[in-house]
Amino acid sequence: MATPELSFISEILETEISSLEPFGSGHIHQTFKLMSATGDAYVLQKINQEVFENVPLLQNNIEKVLEHIAKQKNDSDAMLSMLTLSNGRSFYMENNAYWRVFNFISD
């Protein structure tokens, strides 16, 4: 799996990137663990458009599920969240590919 170009990632997160490496062994999306220069960790995913043709609808559904879970959660629980990117959305298109970023929750 090729590591994506860092310049657009820094731009959409509005932070400098210290590292980016393949993460996990998923079969649908290309997934990377990203570390910011400030030490924050994220999961960057290139969304598979052959599986999910309507990415805006996919992202809208995930946002609704995460909002529902957030209403139910205990404050002490780790909570998955998608970042709002520099374009004001939860996904970004670069070179005809869609990308999204989640917070990283360690084991």
| Tens digit of each residue's pLDDT (9 = 90 or more) over 44-71 | 999 999 999 999 999 999 999 999 988 8
The answer to whether residue 33 scores a pLDDT higher than 80 is yes
Q: How confident is the model at residue 21 (pLDDT cuts 50, 70, 90)?
A: very high
- 3-state SS, residue 92: strand
Q: How confident is the model at residue 3 (pLDDT cuts 50, 70, 90)?
A: low
Position 28 scores a pLDDT of 92
Q: How confident is the model at residue 26 (pLDDT cuts 50, 70, 90)?
A: confident
**Distance between the two ends of the chain, CA-based, in angstroms?**
24
Q: What is the pTM of this model?
A: 0.85
